[in-house]
Amino acid sequence: MSIPASTYRLQLSPAQDFAAARGLVDYLESLGVGALYCSPILQSAPGSMHGYDVVDPTRANDQLGGESGRRDLVATLRAAGLGVLVDLVPNHMGVAVPEANPSWWSLLRDGPDSEYASWYDADLSQPLLIPVLGSPEDVSALELVDGELRYYEHRYPVAPGTGDGTPQEVHERQHYRLVHWRRGNAELTYRRFFDVSDLAAVRVDDPAVFDATHAEVLRWRAAGQLDGLRIDHPDGLSAPGAYLRRLRAALDSRGHAEREAWLLVEKILGPDETLPLSWPADGTTGYEALREIGGLFVDPRGEALVDAVTAEHTGVREGLSPTEHAARRLVTDEILVAEVRRIAALVPGDDDPEKVRDAVAELLCSFPVYRSYLPEGRASLDRAVDTAATARPELAGIVRTIHAGMLAEPDGALTRRIEQTSGMVTAKGVEDTTFYRWNRFVALNEVGGAPDRFGVAATEFHARAAARDAATPATMTTLSTHDTKRSEDVRARLAVLSELTAEWGAFLRTASARHPLPSPSLELLAWQSVLGAWPITEERLAGYLTKASKEAKLVTAHVDAVPEVDEAIAAWPGQVLGDPEAVAEIEAFVAAIGAHGRSNALGQKLLQLAGPGVPDVYQGTELFEYSLVDPDNRRPVDFDLRRRLLERLDGGWMPSLDGGDEADPDELAAVKLAVTSAALRLRRFRPELFTGYAPLPASGPAASHAVAFARGGPAGRERLVAVATRLPAGLGASGGWRDTVLPLPAAADDWTDVVTGRPVDGSAPALGALLDRFPVALLVRPA
């Protein structure tokens, strides 16, 4: 199987194209990376900065350098011994610029007679509604130009023989209707990617559509130019399991390659959920590992006081569950209305249509996970049915009718629509709404996270790591992605607040009184974000808070904006950063938690890189990197700095954390690079060390502050040990490591820390000495 030792995620765009990526290959090889993990590279919409709005799946993106640029990049990677993993988007295509998408243009022009009529999940028995008009009356702005309908800069085709008359008359003869943008949520006649009308769902469950939309990437695979695929948003597909089985067969068919492809899915699992056994995937993109590793550095003893601080600030005590349910109902009742109506029309019986829609919505809001996959995952469906029926007894009969229909026809239209839509409701209601509303401790408000589980115990961490090694050793692990709400280092710094809860509460009281915001919930989020991402510019902070407030939909929103609220939020960063006293207090607090945050950041990085699974490094995070949600986390990376620091490390320089926040910025940055490069290089060149898994307990008064594991050999004879410091503020307050030691496997005394290059003193080294330079160590002994 073509599984690399590690991956490096690179966000490609016109500003960072194939040629730019090619220029980074030597750096990635030196860093120790095993494969380049590319964002989508098929032809995307004009000016796309992310590639998820593919308009033509039959060719490489010419905005990135086209086919020749792609081939050159692959050739350079191959020459360096690096693999290639590509992000693939099978669920939807971009339709914002119809003339850029040949299949959509044909569908609009020819309707049911289009050769692409089977491509899109659309109701072609009626005109396709295109929600683009600024007002219902704006149809008067239509023009006929060169045989096309024009609405300002937007172009639309005209069906043959229908072009005579006024623009409005011609418009009425088309297979589509341009309508006010507000009609999209309730009346749209094609399925979207969540609530994004510019992304239309594709029916890859149809074998012919699958073949047409996958031919190009399969050609790359056959030519030996592709090692694996990361499948975006499988929950949006009507039958993810069937799709993955078809894809696996196509990737590994004779003539494509001698080795199996590496196949990953961007599947968000619940804390106790696993991938369906029938899916022939090697694993996920790693959000479950992110929760487990990051949670290890959150002190569970701080939960009660954090709750108290939150309740004091907001004036209410509201649990996560009711907040989630309210947010999900907002999605079903206002955003995904068309999808709910479509499902309700499939429910048998003669109940009142409004009541049926209410029952459908309640069921969609009751799933404990993103979706079920009948017949697998029936327990999740049963639980959702029981939850909905208990919460709304007046709807129980309809809910159970739906349940019976789904069980009777697990491949039927009712089942497929509910399964597809429940994932949309969860993603929009939880990730994109609740995680901006329920802000008691935002280090936990992460994709794949469980904010109501305050931290992860060491026993849970070890159990899940051992299970990953045994069941899914080829799964990806991650700490930061293009979709995370905040970077790994922001979360690591904020985790310190779980140890310094009283100090956090005092800071919040003073800061929020001096510079209030229109919502107490937003204040909680804002001040945690300021501390976590500091130093931050006014522009970055204003952009983040504008997005966060609109996603929360409490005092303003994307659709129904409140101008005076938006203005107050936009002005707030300038007011805070322009207040010398406020800035001084922020800097003082960040200084108090900064060293502990760096300890957490290095700890979680090492545990990810050395632990089971294939670790991914998101672009730039080999250095400390304090970014917030996109687009903040997609800013350009200073690779020249990273090259220079890596060259200095390779020249024998060993940076230090001793100077704290006052130290040379290069020195602080290089510490994380030293840890990252040491682990990546070891994984690439000594893969035999990264098998098996055994917890390694420390012994002594501060044993609970060390988390360690051993790998690379039979029990008791392992040849690799990773150790990290946990809860560093508490460690310092209790007197440090004192007499705490780490007994090493096989009582061997020939271990070396590959991060610092120092030999280890004895078979049970004192942790105070082992971790006196860095709060982590990666130990190796010869065979």
Per-residue model confidence (pLDDT) at position 182: 87
* CA gap 721, 20 in Å, rounded: 37
Indicate the residue type of 673: L
Please choose, from the candidates 680, 217, 294, 672, the residue with its C-alpha nearest in 3D space to the C-alpha of residue 460.
294
| Cα–Cα distances in angstroms (integers) from residue 367 to residues 387, 427, 430, in the given order | 8, 12, 12
Report percent pLDDT > 90 for the chain.
93
Please choose, from the candidates 621, 617, 601, 629, the residue with its C-alpha nearest in 3D space to the C-alpha of residue 484.
629
* CA gap 7, 38 in Å, rounded: 10
Would the pLDDT of 257 be above 70? no
DSSP-assigned states of every residue in 471-540: H-TTSEE-S--TT-SB-HHHHHHHHGGGTSHHHHHHHHHHHHHHS--S-HHHHHHHHHHHHHH-S--HHH
Q: At what angle do helices 353-364 and 413-426 cross, to 10 degrees?
A: 60
Indicate the residue type of 599: S
Question: Which of 74-83, 103-112, 292-301, 314-323 has the lowest average pLDDT?
Answer: 314-323
What pTM does this model have? Answer: 0.96
CA dihedral 276, 279, 283, 285 (to 10 degrees): -90
Q: Which pLDDT band holds residue 747 (cuts at 50, 70, 90)?
A: confident
Q: Which residues pair with 149 in a beta bridge?
A: 144, 156
Averaged over 530-549, what is the pLDDT?
A: 98
What residues contact residue 287 under an 8 Å CB cut-off, 6+ apart? 268, 269, 446, 447, 448, 449, 478, 481
Q: CA-based Rg of the chain, rounded to a whole angstrom?
A: 27
Averaged over 440-467, what is the pLDDT?
A: 97
Q: Which pLDDT band holds residue 1 (cuts at 50, 70, 90)?
A: low
Indicate the residue type of 660: G
End-to-end CA, the chain: 26
Averaged over 248-269, what is the pLDDT?
A: 85
Average pLDDT, the chain: 96
User: pLDDT per residue over 266-290, tens digit each?
Assistant: 999 999 999 999 999 999 999 999 9
Report yes or no: 249 and 279 within 8 Å, Cβ to Cβ: no
Kindly report the length of the chain.
783
Would the pLDDT of 2 be above 90? no
Report yes or no: 307 and 317 within 8 Å, Cβ to Cβ: yes
Q: Which pLDDT band holds residue 256 (cuts at 50, 70, 90)?
A: low
| Cβ neighbours around 692 below 10 Å, total | 19
The region that residue 194 occupies, defined by phi over 0 for left and psi between -120 and 50 for alpha, beta otherwise, is left
Per-residue model confidence (pLDDT) at position 255: 52
Phi, psi of 528 (to 5 degrees): -65, -40
Task: Name the burial class of residue 162, with classes exposed (0-12), middle (13-18) and buried (19+) by CB atoms within 10 angstroms of its CB.
Answer: middle
Averaged over 54-81, what is the pLDDT?
A: 98
User: pLDDT per residue over 99-127, tens digit each?
Assistant: 999 999 999 999 999 999 999 999 999 99
Would the pLDDT of 152 be above 80? yes
* CA gap 362, 215 in Å, rounded: 40
* CA gap 38, 77 in Å, rounded: 12
User: pLDDT per residue over 618-630, tens digit each?
Assistant: 999 999 999 999 9
Per-residue model confidence (pLDDT) at position 703: 98
User: pLDDT per residue over 695-735, tens digit each?
Assistant: 999 999 999 999 999 999 999 899 999 999 999 999 999 99
